[in-house]
Amino acid sequence: MKSFLTKRAYASLISLLFLVVAVFFLSRLTGDPTNLYLPVDASLEARENFRALHGLNDPLIVQFGRYLADLAMLDFGESIRRSRPALDVVLEAFEWTLILAAITMAIVTISAIVIGSLAAFRVGGLFDRTATFFSLIGASAPDFWIAIVAIVLFSVNLGWLPTSGTGTVWHWIMPIGVLFIRPFGLILQVVRGSMITALGSAYVKTARAKGVASRPIIFVHALRNAMLPVITVIGDQAAAILNGAVVVETIFGFPGVGKLMIDSILQRDFAVVLAAIMVTALAIFVMNLLIDLAYSVLDPRIRY
């Protein structure tokens, strides 16, 4: 186990390093922040002072080396826009994204497992066909299109739900609903396929022959053995929700790390962009590691 964790840590560090290099240099292609933060008629001296204050007057390779040295000390730099440590700004926004993602994944996981298991119990029945139809539609629909349609329908035409903010429960319904649809469809399909295989196994047939009720057969005997591929796709979709939150948070004006990242790119706030991407990447790494470790809990035959 220790060897497995060490290898995963090294692999993640290498991936993070490549990510830092790519984002650092690509973010500089958005332009010079002095053109955004200073007046058009600002003097050359004012521009030079601004660049010197934020370390922008050195060659890019020097800026990158300085950033890596600061990063080794867990210093993510200071936000140009907010004059605050970039990491503090990102963590405040990331808290909102984690809450949104956790609520969404809890609802998605429970509903997909229950509905997918029941659909697999009677393959080809009305419930199975209905669940499969809607799950395939949900898995195929893009988040941005669903978000726009939801705003037009529920906010503009019906006036039922607010379009942005987090003040009440009503503000959370559309962001959660939009993030829910795609992972629900994908996870339900995996649960259904895995449960069909598990329900056709010899030990389930034996349990049925002994007169065991349907509910214990589905949720006790078959579900645990069907969960390994389900756990994998749940982890993938949890990471996808963190990434998909960029679009959803921007459309709904949700104050999460996704919206912060887009705003910071437009504001050329490089330190915040890098900090947001690093924090998100670390969260996805930890999530995948926990899912890998969960395999050995579900199936003791697995050893790392």
Question: Which residue blocks in the chain are alpha helix, DSSP H?
Answer: 2-27, 34-37, 44-53, 60-72, 86-121, 126-140, 143-150, 169-199, 202-209, 214-216, 223-252, 257-266, 270-298
74: closest CA among 278, 285, 280? 278
> Computed from CA positions of residues 62, 64, 69, 74, in that sequence, does the dihedral angle turn out positive or negative?
positive
Are 171 and 164 in contact, with CB atoms under 8 Å apart? yes
Given a cut of 50, the residues of the chain with pLDDT beneath it are none
Q: Tell me the CATH class for 93-298.
A: mainly alpha
Residue 304, pLDDT score: 52
Q: So where are the chain's domains?
A: 2-72, 93-298
Residue 214, pLDDT score: 64
Q: Which two tokens stand for residue 112?
A: 């997909």
DSSP 257: H
Mean pLDDT over the full length of the chain: 80
Residue 5, pLDDT score: 67
Tokens 């887009």 sit on residue: 262
